[in-house]
Structure 1
Amino acid sequence: MRTADVIGNAARNAFRSRLRTTLTVLSLFVGAFTLTLTTALGAGVNEYVATQVATVSTGDALLVAPAVASETTEGPTPFEADGRQQATQPNPLGSGTLLNAADLETMRGLDGVDLVEPVRMITLDWVAADGADEDARFELDINPSSSLGRSDLVAGDQLDNGTDAAQVVLQEDYVAALGFDDAESAIGETVELGYTDAAQAEQTIEAEVAGIARTSLFAAGAGTNESLTDAVTEAQAIPGQPEAYVLAVAHLDGTGPDGAVTDQDVDDVKALLADADLTGQTVEDQLGVIQTVINGIIGVLSAFSVIALLAASFGIVNTLLMSVQERTREIGLMKAMGMSDGRVFSLFSLEAVVIGFLGSAIGAAVAIGLGTVISSALAAGPLADLPGLTILLFDPVNVLLVIVVIMLVAFLSGVLPARRAARQDPIDSLRYE
């Protein structure tokens, strides 16, 4: 029997008992459906995170903060007049203390560090269009990570830290609220910012709108350039109190091709920072924790898919064992007519593969159809504030991999029945009643 004939017979024989085969296909369908959705969820979230990282970081900067104390001492901590100040709340790197001027000088003296920019926290009370009435003012939060100098922009340019003019990057929500027709029309316009100085007096400052940013993982507030930050910081500084900083951004010198910063460069600077009782993280490091949690959740969901596939594999074994028993005389006749053991084994193994293909292909197709609808609904509803996020991203390679894996599971499940069929004695099989 030719290979093409074996494949054709296997496809036809798979449906000799339609009800039994259909139930087995449905059990594989559940596993394929769930596994396709979980892989799409992982691909969608990880792709969004990677896009956000690329938006705000080129991998050549470290966020630096005091190291988190790993040892505890008995009794109260001794006071040091020149020591670090305590933060009102932990910074994004988990430290409860602030950087001081000595820390900045230490960072600037480290090998591999090109530039150190302190991140200063300023508080703005409101923003309004230039000349607007008091009832047209809106609260405004400042994103300290704007010191990185990059935002996920809808329109305009990144903040210019080399200019003396005060600049601000606003979020999309403020465009219509401030009376602008669209994001493009807001670029270059002047807005008025209100804040409270150290004497608790209300002050205002004008700033140019440099850009309009999308809402994202990092755009938790407006961005300000150094000129605006310096002006507000000076007004809000308490006389006689030394400056302290939540974080600092250390830009690195690269030793790679064309001055690119390599992983080794980052690791070397991290080690030097640790020796100075400081800790440094890239944006990728910070999001690595988020990705680990996400991958853990997806792993748990995938485990349920694997359990469903294991249950389905027993169904395949049962289906083919019953098929072998029902076709005992047919197997004996085929072997008596010269069909080899290998051909018999291939015939029953391919039946298992056909069942696996049907279950996986139907499950993947339904998952893609239903998942696309769900993803679109979420993007227009609960996830509308995260533009660019496709919560279920169906990568053709991942879908194909799911189908191949399930077909492999089906093939392995069919090995035992196929071997039993191949080892049958033709004389005994022909006598089987």
Structure 2
Amino acid sequence: MRSVDIVSTAFRNAFRSRLRTSLTVLAIFIGAFTLSLTNGLGTGINQYIDDTVASVGVDDVMTVTKASDEQPAEGPTEYDPNQIEVENGPPGQTATALTDADIDTIAGIDGVESVEPSKSVMVDYVQHDDGTRYQLSVAEFVPGMRLELAAGEQVDLDAAEPELVLPESYLEPLDLGSAADAVGQSVVLAVTDATGAQVTTEATVVGVAEPGVITMGGAIPNDVLTQELYDLQTTGAPEAETTRYAQASVSFDTSGGATETEALQDRLADAGFTGSTLEDQLGTITAVIDGIVLVLNGFAVIALVAAGIGIINTLFMAVQERTREVGLMKAMGLSSGRVFSLFSIEAVVIGLAGSALGVLGAVGAGQLVNGVAGDLLADLPGLTLIAFDPVSIATVVLGVMAIAFLAGTLPALRAARQDPISSLRYE
């Protein structure tokens, strides 16, 4: 019997007992469906994070803070004048403040191209044309970031005049009209200085940002506006208070790859500082997502193991029912290897049918979920909650087929080892 004949015969025999095979295929379908769906969930979320990082484009910028050996204490923390609240951190989280001397030290470390201390600005409100005042937060912006804009252009950090990119959600409240109409208009920003007086300054809207991970933090000012707000906010404060920073942004050369980046982090650590890239900061998020997906995949694997047991049972029954048939084939010269291949291919066919149906079902379910999630997660444009990577899909199908092959090994070996004379006498 030629190889082609063995394959075609295996395909026909796989569905000889339709009910039994269908139930086994159903078990495989459940496992492959779950595995594909959970992998798609992990792929979609991680892809969104990767796209966000790519759009930020700040792989050559490192956030540097003062290293501290002290472990977070439970309950109230003793006051330390050198501690400063961490920007964009959990409420109440503090770190040792950086000083101008620290900034100079960081600038002198080998591999640091430039260093800019982060100036924390707390805006009281934003207003347009003496209208209603609305609370507004400002987010730090570093070179290389790219915002998704509804209109206008990216903020020019080096512009001589104060300018900012305003979130799209502020257009209607501030009566700025459409996104295109808002570009070029001026808004008033207010801060409270160290004496308790409220002071204002103006800035020009150069762009309107669509909702996203970056712009959810608020408006994006250029350097001139940030410095102006910071100066107004620290008016009347002691000089020591105006030269204390929670963190600094360090620019470095990425041409050396991960090895050189780690070497720079080591040099910063030796100098008493902690440096983390955006990839480091997002690594925890992706690790949590991967962990959740791994747990969900565990349930899918359990279903596939159960399906493998079903394949063993199905093929053992097939071998028993076709004992005389196997004996006849071996009596006519079919080798044990060919018999083994015949039943192994049957197992693979069952695995292929179940995995293919499971993947197709997962893709269909994913499209439905994405349609619903598109409305629920409208504030995260570009997010595809469940994304299917062709490589992952192929891996699922091939993996299930491999499990099916292994599950079919015992029944196939039993069939291959049958004595033709005894098989022909089997009743």
When normalised by structure 2's length, the TM-score is 0.92
Deviations 1:220-270 (A, max 9, x none): 12111111111111111143241211211011145x3xxxx5323322221
Counterpart in the other structure of 1:24: 24
AA at the equivalent of 2:122: T
Which deviates more, 63-72 or 287-296? 63-72
Picking from 397, 404, 408, the partner of 1:403 is: 397
Residue 208 (1) aligns with residue 207 (2): no
Residue 394 (1) aligns with residue 388 (2): yes
Counterpart secondary structure, 2:64: strand
Please report how far the alpha carbon of residue 5 of structure 1 lies from its aligned counterpart in structure 2 after TM superposition.
1.9
> Is the 1:86–1:96 Cα contact (8 Å) retained in structure 2?
yes
Structure 1 residues 401, 78: closer, same or farther in 2, change over 3 A?
Answer: closer
Which deviates more, 265-274 or 39-48? 265-274
Counterpart in the other structure of 1:380: 375
Distance of 1:9 and 1:331 partners within structure 2: 13
> Is the 1:194–1:204 Cα contact (8 Å) retained in structure 2?
yes
Distance of 2:78 and 2:393 partners within structure 1: 57
Counterpart in the other structure of 1:44: 44
> Is the 1:64–1:280 Cα contact (8 Å) retained in structure 2?
yes
Counterpart in the other structure of 1:240: 238
Which deviates more, 348-357 or 201-210? 201-210
Distance of 2:101 and 2:341 partners within structure 1: 75
Structure 1 residues 10, 253: closer, same or farther in 2, change over 3 A?
Answer: closer
AA at the equivalent of 2:83: Q
Please report how far the alpha carbon of residue 375 of structure 1 lies from its aligned counterpart in structure 2 after TM superposition.
1.4
Which deviates more, 267-276 or 413-422? 267-276
Please report how far the alpha carbon of residue 30 of structure 1 lies from its aligned counterpart in structure 2 after TM superposition.
0.8
Counterpart in the other structure of 1:284: 279
AA at the equivalent of 2:187: V
AA at the equivalent of 1:356: G
Please report how far the alpha carbon of residue 306 of structure 1 lies from its aligned counterpart in structure 2 after TM superposition.
0.8
Counterpart in the other structure of 2:340: 345
> Is the 1:90–1:97 Cα contact (8 Å) retained in structure 2?
no
Please report how far the alpha carbon of residue 195 of structure 1 lies from its aligned counterpart in structure 2 after TM superposition.
2.2
Structure 1 residues 276, 91: closer, same or farther in 2, change over 3 A?
Answer: farther
Deviations 1:349-394 (A, max 9, x none): 111011101110111111100111101211211x111111111001
Counterpart in the other structure of 2:188: 192
Identity within the alignment, %: 46
Counterpart secondary structure, 2:158: coil
Distance of 2:10 and 2:130 partners within structure 1: 78
Structure 1 residues 211, 249: closer, same or farther in 2, change over 3 A?
Answer: same
Residue 330 (1) aligns with residue 325 (2): yes
Distance of 2:328 and 2:177 partners within structure 1: 82
Distance of 1:379 and 1:362 partners within structure 2: 26
Structure 1 residues 370, 285: closer, same or farther in 2, change over 3 A?
Answer: same
Distance of 1:377 and 1:62 partners within structure 2: 37
Structure 1 residues 21, 338: closer, same or farther in 2, change over 3 A?
Answer: same
Which deviates more, 21-30 or 91-100? 91-100
Picking from 141, 148, 152, the partner of 2:147 is: 152
Give unmatched runs, 5+ long, in structure 1.
none
Structure 1 residues 231, 58: closer, same or farther in 2, change over 3 A?
Answer: closer
Counterpart in the other structure of 2:220: 223
Please report how far the alpha carbon of residue 305 of structure 1 lies from its aligned counterpart in structure 2 after TM superposition.
0.8
Please report how far the alpha carbon of residue 137 of structure 1 lies from its aligned counterpart in structure 2 after TM superposition.
2.3
Distance of 2:72 and 2:191 partners within structure 1: 39
Distance of 1:429 and 1:210 partners within structure 2: 86
Picking from 407, 422, 428, the partner of 2:422 is: 428
> Is the 2:86–2:246 Cα contact (8 Å) retained in structure 1?
no
Counterpart secondary structure, 1:96: strand
Please report how far the alpha carbon of residue 211 of structure 1 lies from its aligned counterpart in structure 2 after TM superposition.
2.1
Structure 1 residues 343, 54: closer, same or farther in 2, change over 3 A?
Answer: same
Alignment of 1:119-198 (within 5 A): 119-129=118-128, 131-133=129-131, 136-143=132-139, 145-148=140-143, 150-154=145-149, 155-198=151-194
Distance of 2:72 and 2:233 partners within structure 1: 34
Residue 319 (1) aligns with residue 318 (2): no
> Is the 1:147–1:225 Cα contact (8 Å) retained in structure 2?
no
AA at the equivalent of 1:67: A
> Is the 2:58–2:144 Cα contact (8 Å) retained in structure 1?
no
Distance of 1:403 and 1:296 partners within structure 2: 22
Please report how far the alpha carbon of residue 92 of structure 1 lies from its aligned counterpart in structure 2 after TM superposition.
4.1
Give unmatched runs, 5+ long, in structure 2.
none
> Is the 1:149–1:159 Cα contact (8 Å) retained in structure 2?
no
Which deviates more, 184-193 or 106-115? 184-193
Picking from 348, 356, 365, the partner of 1:361 is: 356
> Is the 2:312–2:411 Cα contact (8 Å) retained in structure 1?
yes
> Is the 1:352–1:411 Cα contact (8 Å) retained in structure 2?
yes
Distance of 2:187 and 2:426 partners within structure 1: 92
AA at the equivalent of 1:405: G
> Is the 1:68–1:95 Cα contact (8 Å) retained in structure 2?
no
